Each structure stands twice: as structure tokens, then as C-alpha cells.
Chains A and B, each alone.
Chain A
């Protein structure tokens, strides 16, 4: 077979209405949660119906999605960067029956405007070798609980939630309104009978952000300075003989206030809200309750158009902690390389 043919040309995947109006769209409107219309300079209209998906899809589920797209959209659809399915049609008459069929088949329609869209997430226990928690499970448990925010548009602004099952952050959750991050809390245990065969010592030493790993190039073994280790697990990624998973101590941390867009305020990192919640499968009740609490406090307090981070920035972190009832601990105070930038050097602060 030929190599390097690259992906199929996207132009062959575009519905005719897009080909006619490519680069000539005039405006769009959200007609109802999950339904948008884009209008071109020609006056052509494109209707988009957005539906949630578990991201992990069986081929038969994809075929069902194809059946729906063929019935109502001449076989055209797309996926969004947050793993939603978008059905695309220029035929207004098809919209209502499409919505009805999606409702019959239990597809949640929404995720537009001031809503909670699908949760971007990683593989977790389904397919990853370094996870500190599962990904699909906590996401499903949480979406079940905050479903109403997907199918309505009643929040101050949209809330982007993401989950990564370890600090590698394949899901790059570090700029989300609310990030759910799997963490380890105990040091890796090098198996020095296997290290010499499995691991390259300089690479393993260099993999540690805090310089906690010492290598012995003669015996080709490593040791960990437990006081310096913050359990990121990066050494295990490069050296499989340093297992770090710990069923009793791995769990979840919650981060808030990040965003990726340049709208109004700058792209921003999420900041630590809750350092640790236990892994409690299959329903992760502590994590679900914690995220729901943050969403509800935000929904009840933020001004219209404020993202979670913009709201916290306005009221101050001291008030965020008092409003949400989340305890502030010494773990919230940074001690990595840019730590001092987050310390307060003014007498201006709020009491609560």
C-alpha cells in the first residue's frame, strides 16, 4: 500500500451548502439549545443540530449516527472539538423530525451557548497505562447529574469541563473552567531488579521535574528522594520499572477558573480548588458533588457573560473559598518554580 497519502481531503466531506458558502457566512443564531442556523451572504441557511456523545463509540453506534445523518442530512455530519456530533442540513423541514428522532433515540441535544458542553476527557482505565483514575466513568456519572445544563442555556456563560486521568494531561485540562485531574499521592517504587533492563538511567533522572531521582550509572539502578517527590508519575512513563499506581491513595483533584479563548480576558490556567477526592467507582459521588457545588455557586453568583475564572477574578479567591465552602489548605499555595508570582504582596484583600 502507498504510504503518506494523508487524511481524506476535507473538501470532499463538505455538504453542498457549505461548498457554496465557504468563507461567505454572514451570521449565525442559536434558535434553541443544540440548534443553530448559519446564514450565508447568498441567503442560504445551514441548520446544525448538536448532540452529545460518550466519545467512546462502537462501530454500530457510529452506523446508527450515519443512518440518522443519511435520513435527514444527505449523509453529512461533523464532530466538534468537544466530541459532540453535529448533524448538518440545509433543509429546514428536516430539522423538527431530526430533533424528534434524536429525542426518541435518547441523544441529548444541546451544548450550545451558555451551557455546559461535553466533557473533554482521556482514556483512564479503559486504555491507558498511567492513569490515577478512570476517565469515562467519572464523566458519565457527572454528566448524568449536570445533564440539565447541557440541554439548557441558563448559565452566566459557557462552562468548559475537562478530565485528565493523570498529570500527563492528554486532555490538556489545564485551561478549563472546571478541570478534574487524576493524581497519585505516593512515591513510585523502583524495582531495581528490572530497572537495568527496562530503563535508560539519564532519561529517567531527567524526567523528574523536582530532581528527586538519583541514578547510579554503575549498577544501572535508581533511587527516589521521597521528600522531593510530588508523585507526577513522569518517571513511570519513561521507566516502567517504577510503578506509582496506589489503589488506596490515588484519586482526583479539582481545578477551576481556566479558559482557552481570547474573548474579553486572556487565556488562563485553571487553579487548584480541591487537592484530593477519593476514587470511588462506579459513581464517584464526592467528585460529582464537588463539581456540581462549584457550578451552582457560580450560576447563582456570577454576572451574565462572566466565565468561572472571570467571576472569581472579580470577587477574589478568598470569597470563592468562602462561597463554595471549600477549605483552603497549605496545598493550595504553590511551591513549584513560579510560586512567588502567586503570593500576595499587598494589604488589599477581603476578609471572606
Chain B
């Protein structure tokens, strides 16, 4: 038997959990690119170091985003991955597919690339891993003919993403899928032609469970919420209790505001104290659900550490009704991006800019009122700025 070229990676093949090595090997049967990828990866495993160079500027006509240039630093050894560029393809909102669409994607990618993908990238796009510069335009054209378009990259609006929302979730307070799709279609220019100081991410979660990690991972988080009482189906509460749920211990005692009382028969919620944390609803979906008026809380500024440290998004609009065509939301997005583009430094995220110049400056620029819902507590230091109009002017006599 021939000796394997990839003894280290072979150890990650097979097993109970599906193996990426098996997938690369499967693609390598048809594609010399995938084979060289495997061989270069084996070298990385041996040397404990990556072998990709910074991307040059590559792309498709009319677009400044959507393609990430990638080159091997060992092109003589691995000639088939000398150029190994990535295409980011905007996924269908909610990551729903008919197999026909997936098969189309596979056919295009077998024709033009390595046959390897990520389903999906961290921001949500379909990632087509590895093609050469001369295939980029043709690949784009073929994708376009099948109804697909590129996603964002660089200092652009990144591909917005959304949770499954009303598509399959009883807790959806807003139509996360429609909002995401509407915003995506409205901002094609901003997605495809980088024009901001740095990246800008929008994520839409239909309830506070935030299944798309919007507070942690997006510059603008749109999260469904409600104003009003949680409707209670006491019969279903009793059924959960009968089925073994310890309502006192597992539901009431873990409520962060302790706004629930259970007397062994009936559940009572003091809704004015509820902060809509979802815990009780998560545990008893048949008995409890979001109630009353539906809308969204908007938060701004979330990001990973680079450069000034990681930030979790901050509340800027406690409640906004969100119904098509979402003009109030889009007006606000425009104002935010306009202010940030005007004031942000190169590679400064909007959260970092707000941290640098102050939330009050941001709020005034985009026309939002200061409300207590925005803070955990008021400031503790006395270093307070006042606006000129706050100050009584001396009368000139």
C-alpha cells in the first residue's frame, strides 16, 4: 500500500464526529486544488504554522467586496493553490434552502473552484473556498444566473443575518427574516462597495434569546421584544407541573426579577417587574408566550476585541415598532452610518467612535432622546459636560 502523504491529517479522518479531512479528501478526488490544499495543510500540521499570504486586491466587475484574495506562500510546492481566493455569497435569509438551489451552487462551484465550501461563515455567508483569479468573474456570472449574489467584506456593510424567527419559532416578536431581507435588499450598494470607516454588521433576532448573537457580534442589534402582559394558560402550567417541572425552583426562583408567584396551582406574574428575559417562556412554551404590543429593542456598538477591546452592544432605542417598509429603522440606520462615516477614523468601529466621543454626542447627532433604559446606572464621576444652551448667558448691557 502506498504511504500516505498526509499522516498527521489522516489521524483526524473518520470517527464519530464528521471530519473536515474526509471532506477535503472527497473534493481532492476531483480537484487538484483540494489535493494541494490538503498537502499544504499537512505541512502546517508538521510545522505548526500557517502558509497563506495576505490577499492582494482581487474582485469582480463593479464590486469592491465579496472576494477575499488568498495566495500560498509555497507556490512552487503547491502550485494548484498558488491563488486560492474565497467568494462570500449572500445566503438566503434564515439559511433556508431548497435542494435545487444548493445543487445549483455546487454545480457552479465544481465548474469554477476547489469544490470546498463553508456552510456557513461566521457572519452568515456561504463561503466558497478557493479559486483562481481568472475564474472569479465567470464564477460570479454563473452564480448570478442562478440567483445568487456576493456578500460584504472589508469596510462595507457585512451580510446581515437573522434568526429563524416567524419561520419556525413561537417566540418571534418581529419578523426577523423579512427585516433582514428588506435591509439586505435596500443596502446592496453598501454591501458591495465598501464606503465606511470599517465594517458594519447588522443582525436581527426575533426575541431576547438572541439566537444570532446580535448583542455580542453586531454593530447594530435588532431584537424583538414586547410591551404588555405575558398571557398564561393555567391548564398548561398545571400540565408542566404534572409532567415533573418544578415550577417554584426551576421557573420562579430563577426569574431574575422574582416577578412570579406559584401557589402550587396557579402561576401569577407581576408583569410590571418583568424584564422579558425569556426564562419562564423558554421552560413552558405551551403555557406562556410574549404578549401585547410587539416591536424591537435596538442596540449599538457590539464587536470583537480588535482594536480597543471587545464591546457588547448598548441600548439606544428601547422600543421601535417594526413593520414594512421599516422606514423609521432605515432612517436611523442612515443617520448612524452618516455620522460614523463623517467622524470615524480609519478602522474605527461605530462602538469605538461612541466610546471616544461620548454617547451624548452620538444621541444628539442621530436625534435620539436620552432615557434610563440606556444605562445600568447613571454616571458616578462628576466630570459632566453641558451644552451651550444649558448655560445662562450674561446679559450684555
Q: Give the chain B neighbours of A54 by CB distance below 8 A.
A: 17-20, 22-23
CB distance from A300 to the nearest CB of B (A): 19
Q: Mark B40-58, 1 if CB is under 8 A from A, else 0.
A: 0100110111111111000
- Contact A172 to B55, CB < 8 A, known contacts A5-B149, A126-B41, A281-B48: no
Query: In the complex, are the beta carbons of A4 and B212 less than 8 A apart?
Result: no
Query: In the complex, are the beta carbons of B168 and A25 less than 8 A apart?
Result: yes
* A197 within 8 A of partner (CB): no
* B16 within 8 A of partner (CB): yes
Query: In the complex, are the beta carbons of A125 and B286 less than 8 A apart?
Result: no
How far, in whole Å, are A147 and B17 apart by their CA atoms in the complex? 7
Query: In the complex, are the beta carbons of A81 and B304 less than 8 A apart?
Result: no
Query: In the complex, are the beta carbons of A56 and B24 less than 8 A apart?
Result: yes
A147 closest partner in B (C-beta): B16
CB distance from A39 to the nearest CB of B (A): 8
Query: In the complex, are the beta carbons of B115 and A81 less than 8 A apart?
Result: no
- Contact A52 to B8, CB < 8 A, known contacts A27-B170, A60-B27: no
- Contact A260 to B216, CB < 8 A, known contacts A7-B91, A269-B312, A304-B250: yes
Q: Give the chain A neighbours of B62 by CB distance below 8 A.
A: 3
Interface of chain A residues 315 through 347 with chain B (CB within 8 A): 336-338
Interface of chain B residues 152 through 186 with chain A (CB within 8 A): 161, 163-164, 166-170, 172, 175, 177, 181, 184-185
Query: In the complex, are the beta carbons of B213 and A81 less than 8 A apart?
Result: yes
Kindly identify which residue among B15, B86, B208 contacts A127, using a CB–CB cutoff of 8 Å. B86
* A137 within 8 A of partner (CB): yes
Q: Mark B2-43, 1 if CB is under 8 A from A, else 0.
A: 000000110110011111111110110010001001000100
Query: In the complex, are the beta carbons of A281 and B8 less than 8 A apart?
Result: yes
Query: In the complex, are the beta carbons of B23 and A77 less than 8 A apart?
Result: no
Query: In the complex, are the beta carbons of A1 and B140 less than 8 A apart?
Result: yes
Q: Give the chain A neighbours of B133 by CB distance below 8 A.
A: none
Query: In the complex, are the beta carbons of A125 and B44 less than 8 A apart?
Result: yes
Q: Give the chain B neighbours of A55 by CB distance below 8 A.
A: 20, 118-120
How far, in whole Å, are A304 and B170 apart by their CA atoms in the complex? 24
* B92 within 8 A of partner (CB): yes
Which of B22, B161, B184 is packed against the most chain A CB atoms within 10 Å?
B22
Kindly identify which residue among A7, A57, A76, A203 contacts B346, using a CB–CB cutoff of 8 Å. A203
Q: Give the chain A neighbours of B92 by CB distance below 8 A.
A: 7-10, 13
How far, in whole Å, are A54 and B24 apart by their CA atoms in the complex? 11
Q: Give the chain B neighbours of A287 by CB distance below 8 A.
A: none
* B331 within 8 A of partner (CB): no
Kindly identify which residue among A2, A53, A63 contacts B106, using a CB–CB cutoff of 8 Å. A63
* A153 within 8 A of partner (CB): no
Q: Mark B260-272, 1 if CB is under 8 A from A, else 0.
A: 0000000000000
Q: Give the chain B neighbours of A62 by CB distance below 8 A.
A: 102, 105-106, 117, 119
CB distance from A181 to the nearest CB of B (A): 10
Query: In the complex, are the beta carbons of A125 and B41 less than 8 A apart?
Result: yes
- Contact A7 to B93, CB < 8 A, known contacts A38-B168, A263-B282, A281-B48: yes
The stretch that binds B, out of A93-101, A138-146, A220-228, is: A138-146
Q: Mark A1-33, 1 if CB is under 8 A from B, else 0.
A: 111111111101110001000110111110000
How far, in whole Å, are A77 and B99 apart by their CA atoms in the complex? 8
How far, in whole Å, are A260 and B121 apart by their CA atoms in the complex? 18
How far, in whole Å, are A212 and B364 apart by their CA atoms in the complex? 35
Which of B91, B192, B212, B306 is packed against the most chain A CB atoms within 10 Å?
B306
How far, in whole Å, are A174 and B181 apart by their CA atoms in the complex? 27
B161 closest partner in A (C-beta): A81
How far, in whole Å, are A147 and B347 apart by their CA atoms in the complex? 40
How far, in whole Å, are A238 and B116 apart by their CA atoms in the complex? 27
Q: Give the chain A neighbours of B50 by CB distance below 8 A.
A: 124-125, 128-131, 245
* A58 within 8 A of partner (CB): yes
Q: Give the chain A neighbours of B215 by CB distance below 8 A.
A: 260, 262, 267
How far, in whole Å, are A209 and B304 apart by their CA atoms in the complex? 13
Query: In the complex, are the beta carbons of B18 and A209 less than 8 A apart?
Result: no
CB distance from A63 to the nearest CB of B (A): 6
Q: Give the chain B neighbours of A206 by CB distance below 8 A.
A: 307, 345-347
- Contact A59 to B109, CB < 8 A, known contacts A79-B95, A261-B209, A281-B8: yes
* B229 within 8 A of partner (CB): no
CB distance from B342 to the nearest CB of A (A): 18
Query: In the complex, are the beta carbons of B163 and A81 less than 8 A apart?
Result: yes
Query: In the complex, are the beta carbons of A66 and B346 less than 8 A apart?
Result: no
B184 closest partner in A (C-beta): A6
How far, in whole Å, are A126 and B144 apart by their CA atoms in the complex? 27
B201 closest partner in A (C-beta): A172
How far, in whole Å, are A261 and B33 apart by their CA atoms in the complex? 40
Q: Give the chain B neighbours of A61 by CB distance below 8 A.
A: 23, 26
- Contact A66 to B103, CB < 8 A, known contacts A38-B168, A83-B120: yes
* A297 within 8 A of partner (CB): no
Q: Which residues of B contact A (CB under 8 A)?
A: 8-9, 11-12, 15-24, 26-27, 30, 34, 37, 41, 44-45, 47-55, 61-63, 70, 84, 86, 90-103, 105-106, 109-110, 115-122, 124, 129-130, 140-141, 144-145, 147-149, 161, 163-164, 166-170, 172, 175, 177, 181, 184-185, 188-189, 192, 208-213, 215-217, 223, 250, 254-256, 276-279, 282-283, 285-286, 304-310, 312, 345-347
- Can you name 10 extra interface pairs (CB under 8 A) apart from A172-B122, A250-B49? A3-B63, A7-B148, A57-B23, A140-B15, A175-B312, A247-B47, A247-B48, A247-B49, A258-B216, A267-B312
A-B contact pairs, 10 of them (CB 8 A): A1-B141, A7-B92, A23-B166, A27-B170, A56-B118, A75-B100, A83-B119, A128-B52, A137-B45, A175-B312
